Every structure is written in C-alpha cells, then in structure tokens.
Chains A and B, each alone.
Chain A
C-alpha cells in the first residue's frame, strides 16, 4: 500500500489547494459555519446532495465513481417521477475494489464503464460523480470525462462533489455548478418563446409538479426546463434561453439561479408551490417577470382570473377538513424551504404550529418563517432524536410532519406522523396538493387505531394506568 499512500498524500496537496481557491467563498463560509461533529452528526454528504439534485434528470445515466457503498447503499430510494425515460433509475457504479485502487486502475475502469454505458444504454448524456475515495486517490474525473466525451461524441459531465468536502447542502450547490459549467447554454433551442420559464429546485416528487404544470399550461406559459424533476438533458442544455425563472427549493439551486441571471439575464424569484396563497403568489410573480421581459401584458389579467377561480374551488373543498383540523397542533421537522412554506399552508387551514425546524434553511427562509409565526422560540435547529421525542410530548403535538428518517420518533411515542420529504407517497404541490395534504393529515390524526395502541396492557396494574391517564390528560 506504500505507493497508494504516496499517491494520496500527493493528491491531497492538490485537492486542498484547489478547493480553497476555486469555490465560491460565500458557499464555503456558509458551509463551514456548521461543522459536522463526530459522534453527533446526522445527514448526508456532498456527494449525496449532488446526486439528489441531478438524478431526477431522466434520460441521463448517472455513474458513481467509487467503491460500492456510495451507490450500493443509496440507490432506488427517491420518489421523483418521470413522464418518459426511465434510465435515471438504473444504477451505475464503478464499484472499485481494492485491486483497482492499489494498482491505480480506477481511471481506466471509469473510462471503460463510460463506454459500456454508452454502448449498452444509449443515454442522452452521462453524469460522472466523484466520491471520497476516488477524490482521495487523485482520480481526475474532469479529464476522463473530457476524453470520453470527445471519443464517444456524447456529453459526459463531471460532478465533482466527494462526500468529505461538506454537507448535502453544499453538494446541491456543487451540482448546480456542474450544470452551469458543462451543460446549460451548450445548445440553442429551436423555437424560444416569450413565455418560457425555468423552474429550479423542483424535484417532481410523487409527480407533484404535474399538479402545477396544467396551471401554467392554461396561461400559455411553457416550462422550458424544470431542474431537476422530470427533466431531459436537452431541456437543461437550452435552459439559458428562458425568459424568467423560479426557484422552488432555494437552498438547492438559488446560487445557480443567481448566476444564470448574471450570465444570461434571466430574472428569478424564490417561491413555493405549497399552500394556496403560496401557489397563487408564485403564479403572479412568474407572470409579472415574463411581462417585464416582454410578454403580452394581458398575461397578468389572465393570471388573476385563473387564481381567483382556482382559489375559490380549493377553499370550497377544504371546508370539509377545517372543522376536523382547526386547532390541532403540528410539529414540523423538515428543513429548507418547507420550514416556512408548509407552515404557512397549515396555518391557512387553522392548524397550530408548535415548532418547526430551520435546518438547511437559508437566511431568507428563516426570515419568512419568523414573519409567519411571529414567535422566535418555535424555530429550532436540528435536534437529537431524544430532544425531539421530549419536544413532541412537552408541546402536546397532535402530529409530526417530517422525513422518513425521524418517523419512529413520533411513532414510538404513539403519535401520528406524516411523511413530507422525499419518500412520501402523496403529492402536496399546488392547489390540489393542499387538499391532499389536509386529507392525509386528517387521516393520520383521526385514525381509529390511536386510542387502541395507547390502551394499557391487560396486566398493567390499575395504579400505573391511573397515573398514565393523569400524565396524558
């Protein structure tokens, strides 16, 4: 292993100096502000973040360059939906073994893997992701991708975000950088239109963007590129010709949006398709930006009409749930944009927020949630499971909304829980999504199973039962 060691030490000199120089200093600072402490850390790595942010691009082969764990333990775990190609769901990895690493074969193996994929699967492009070990041993994926792209006449895009450089959040941003550097602007569209927009940071989980797209269609607004949900490579390559953009999950792609504005003069705003007023607001702002960039001003009027119609319809449908949900107490343990957008949506139907996490939220996200809630102490950073468990009980939550990873904290406390992260099975976007969200919360809270599981065991002595009843009251 001596030669390997030398190689690593070597590689690290480059890696270290290159990293400190090339990255957007703002990105670095923000990420460094939250060190990951050994023994207490939770959450994914930069590679995870990069893959999450790009994988829903459906006609691309995503090739993970590294030993097995990075891909083997993580593939096929997200619910983004595709209206066409399924290639993105096939998992590709170079699955490096000890021999590959010691003998220094890994770059060749990567090159061959690219060839195999090109020949066997005819992808629109191949995205190659570096991981900790391949970055450590100094594999230059940029060079390999360049060579492969030339030889196979196929876009081969390096995504340089090995796990150790930082959090998932940073990985999202590095993914945006990769698109900016190698994809966006590489192709001119046939028929650019005055009402073309980009949506950034929309993942189309459970196909929820399809609940929004018809609204845009009705207004004659064309989504040139939705990045990454249900996207095709060519749409992204020509995304620089859109007239306006909206970022949905701002943490993931707001830097990308900013740079696209600088480079191609595409104005953007941060919005959300969660909640009724959120959706209406988003539609208005898209229309507004387009008109300012030269679209027919009648768009504004048409948008108002659509919003009025749709809102009236959805409020009517929500009437059924309001009496059942009014005053129910929600603990929200999600992050990023959802910290405020979902909060807002739930308050609209009369629910009470007893806490919301603001991990992974941008400063803007935080400001928004503060304005909505008007109470600082309801915001919390990420918490240990034990703290979260006590918080649920202390604040007498009726339900917790979170991602799958923390579901058992609520369930083991015998409390209702609803998944609002990537593994969820329901679509909560747009007006339609609000009705669905209300329905799912209603079903969770009012499930007749709850009183049954909380019933004491037949052998528990009466004293204990009485005590517990008192505590729960």
Chain B
C-alpha cells in the first residue's frame, strides 16, 4: 500500500497537471451536439482550447463567457446569460456544458443558481438545449476530477429519476478520461459481441476520432446522445471504469436505482478476465470467439515481452487512476515502480499503487526521482526531463502534442494490454545500451547517446 506524500514546495516547477475545467470540458466533448462553455476570463479558454487542439489534432468547440474587469467586480451572471443565449442562437447546441473557473469560484458565485434563473427566465429561447453546470475551480483537482464532475453533473441534470422499464440487454458504461477513442470503440465492440447494448457516457469516440464532416461544425458531432443520458435509468447495470467514475456511478444509482460495478483498471490479464466474466454473466452468454482469441494473443505477448519488462525500474507520473492502471500492469509484468508522482492526493486509487510512496507533485519531482530509472512514463511535457536524464520516455495521458495518433492507441482489454506490452518492450529495446568497452570512462553512457 502506497503512502501519499504531499507537496511541500511553494513553486510548482514544470506542472504535471492540466486544469480541472479542461477535464470537464473534455467530458462535455463526448456528448453529441455539445459545446463546453468555460465561465471565467477568456484566457483560460484560449489556453485550454490550444492544448486540446494540440493533443487531438482536431478542431475543438469551446467557448468562454469572457469575464472582463467589470464582470469580475460585479459578478458574472449577466455574461453567463449573454453567452448562453448567443451560443444557442448561433450554433443551436443540444447541450451547453458550463465549466466554472477560478475567477468565478474565488468570488464564491452561485453559478448553479444563476443558471437556474436563466433557464427559468429564458425557457422559450432555450427550448431543446440542456444547460449543465460543473463546478470546477482551477485551484482544486485536475483533469480527472473535472471529468468526473462533468459526468456527474450531466447525470444529475438530465437522467430521468422516475421508474422506467429496465431493458435486460442495456448497460451503462462510464469510462474514465484516460480511455482513448480506440479504447472506447473496442469497449463498445466487445460489449456488443456479447449481445449487449451499451450506452457509453461520455463517448469521445464519435466526436474526437478525426472524422471529416461535410460542412463546418461549431458543435460536437457524434458522442453520447442526450436521449441516451435521459434514459440511463432503463439500463440493467452500470459499469464504471476508474475510481474517479465512482461519483457519477453513485449519482446514477441514487437517482435511478441502477446498480454499478467499478473496475479500477481494464488493463492486465486479471482485470480483463474479471470484466469479461461480468459481461458474460450480464448477457448470459459464452465469450465470443474473437474475445477468446484476443486473450490467447495477450498470453503470447506476455510470454514474449516479460523478459524485457522484468526488473525494469519505472518512473511514472500521471493522474491517479491512470497511475494505478499502468503501474499495476507494469508490476504485474515484473517491472518495479521506482517513482510515482501524481496530480492530486485525494483519490482512493493512490493507496493501491504498487509503489512505496506516491508523491503529489510536478515533473521536476519526477525528474529528481527518475535519474536511475530505465523508463519514464508520463505525458509529452516529460520530454525535457527525459532528455536531460537520458532516460527513454513512454508517452501516456494528456497532453500528448508531439506524437500523432494518441487517441488511436489501444490500452485496455486483452488487445490493449498487448499493445502496451509491445510499446514498452519496443522502447526498452530501442534504448538498449551495450556494455561500455571503456569501463574506466566514468562519463554517463546514456547521456552520450
């Protein structure tokens, strides 16, 4: 069980975190016909937008209430109303997802109350558009919490609480932010291959998968349909993936009585086996052939890859659930977690991380702990640290702005686990250092490569 060590420095150096409102906006991007609206000064939106664009290599719809000096003094309710009405009129979204930022939260504004007022007063104009608020100050949490709060807010605001007919084939899946577009597609295919009918919330696989619409779209195209969120109560069972999805799963249960099961990770043979057993039980079906085949292929990859992973020291930095997902898998393949750094210290997932300590910190913390590691695992911002230390970098998570196709990388279920092994082993092989023929030369061998 890992001990969580909190931050003691006053200056964060090379932040690991991206902000909470960005995480919430990301979740809203998984809804069909949506536009996230950051409530705050406009720079926050511009930064979040640029980062999302760099990561996805996609056009991203994102808007701002553009709080100016006056609004900061008197409060942002008017700007909020103006923004909602203008968005509605111009782009006719089905959902406006409001993510608050530090500027309004530090003033303690009652944004939810403001939105209720606006909805009441402007009911006619807003017909056909849901407006949902996630309270996501920048001075708290990070992507993971933002994502989780947005999903919770959507369930609470949209899912119908009344007793509904339960469809035995229907299941709800609440994926964490760390699942890629490819992961979601694979998850859906797998559930469908069991004869199940999954509703995935949020579903970034439609909106952020790189498809090219015929005309310019100012809102998301593809993703979870609002009607599907409304009818979540008609599902038999909810599957939440990642500790941070417990909160939305609980909200759904509270509201509709749909029970949930939580998987902390869907990577690694044992975790996937458990998941497949659950699918089989829910569908009362045998595992289909392709799933069985994928399992064998994973076994084979484990046999082939384990020697490259065994004994390797890994320094890893990520949001809590992804930190758990990957470190759990790496240690299950014989590697050792030499350093674990994360963004915020409150997640229950952290205790389960197979390392002595988990440090809440930044990339400079990672850098100081990773000098003797064989591999650094973190997002693209880790490239400088990796270069300075001469340790290879495996890019995971967000942001990933210097590699193409991050969204099409598979990381879960049998096939995804296999891919992770390949990735890992290939990086290690490519950076293999033969013994130094000049043993007296004490200069850093890796550094000279």
Q: Do A and B come from one complex?
A: yes
Within 8 A of B (CB), among A105-161: 109-110, 112-117, 132-133, 136-137
Determine whether the beta carbon of A74 is less than 8 Å from that of B216: no
Structural contact, A112 and B66, CB atoms closer than 8 A: no
Instruction: Answer whether residue A196 sits at the interface, using C-beta atoms and an 8 A cutoff.
Output: no
Q: Is the CB of B101 within 8 A of A164?
A: no
B64 on the A face (CB < 8 A): yes
A414 to B18, CA, bound (A): 32
Against A, the Cβ 8 Å flags (1 = close, 0 = not) of B339-376 are: 00000000000000000000000101000000000000
Interface residue? A335 (CB, 8 A): no
State whether A12 and B46 are in contact (beta carbons under 8 Å apart), knowing that A72-B17, A72-B18 are contacts in the complex.
no
Docked CA distance A95–B361 (Å): 11
Q: What's the count of A-B pairs with C-beta under 8 Å?
A: 224
Give the dominant DSSP class at A's interface: helix
> Interface digits, B15-53 against A, CB 8 Å rule (1 contact, 0 not)?
101111110000000000000010011111111111101
Within 8 Å of chain A (Cβ to Cβ): is B80? yes
Whether the Cβ atoms of B139 and A164 lie closer than 8 Å is no
Counting CB contacts under 8 A, is B138 at the interface?
yes
Q: Which residue of B lies closest to A71 (CB)?
A: B15
Given A16-B73, A67-B102, A69-B47, does the pair A77, B139 have CB atoms closer than 8 Å? no
A447 within 8 A of B: no
A36 interface neighbour in B14, B18, B58, B66, Cβ under 8 Å: B66
Instruction: Tell me how far the C-beta of B314 lies from the nearest C-beta in chain A, rounded to whole angstroms.
Output: 23
Tell me if A38 and B82 are in contact (CB < 8 A). Answer: yes
Chain B residues contacting A405 (CB-CB under 8 Å) are 49-50, 53
Name the B residues within 8 Å of A12 (CB-CB): 72-73
Partner of B54, one of A15, A77, A115, A165: A77
Interface size class of B (residues with CB under 8 A): 35 or more
Identify which of A66, A73, A384, A414 gathers the most chain B CB atoms within 10 Å of its CB.
A73
The reply to whether the CB of A385 lies closer than 8 angstroms to some CB of chain B is yes
Total A residues in contact with B, Cβ cutoff 8 Å: 76
Q: What residues of chain A lie closer than 8 Å to B139, measured between beta carbons?
A: 67-68, 96-98, 100-101, 133
Complex CA distance for A90 and B58, rounded to whole angstroms: 27
Contacts of B50 in A (CB 8 A): 73-74, 77, 404-405
B59 at the interface (CB under 8 A from A): yes
Closest chain A residue to B57, Cβ basis: A408
User: A112 contacts which chain B residues (CB < 8 A)?
Assistant: 10-11
Closest B residue to A76 by beta carbon equals: B381
Given A37-B86, A39-B82, A405-B50, is A117 in contact with B11 using a C-beta cutoff of 8 Å? yes
Query: Whole-angstrom distance from the CB of B400 to the nearest CB of chain A?
Result: 13
Known: A75-B15, A91-B14, A164-B41. A38 touches B106 (CB 8 A): no
**Given A16-B73, A74-B47, A412:B216 Cβ within 8 A:** yes
User: B87 interface residue, CB < 8 Å from A?
Assistant: yes
B306 at the interface (CB under 8 A from A): no
| Identity of the chain B residue whose Cβ is nearest the Cβ of A41 in the assembled complex | B66
Q: Is the CB of B137 within 8 A of A67?
A: yes
Select which of B10, B47, B48, B59 is within 8 A of A385 by beta carbon. B59
Contact A70 B43 (CB under 8 A): yes
Known: A38-B66, A38-B82; 7 extra A-B contacts, CB below 8 A, are A39-B37, A39-B87, A89-B384, A93-B11, A95-B17, A133-B138, A385-B218
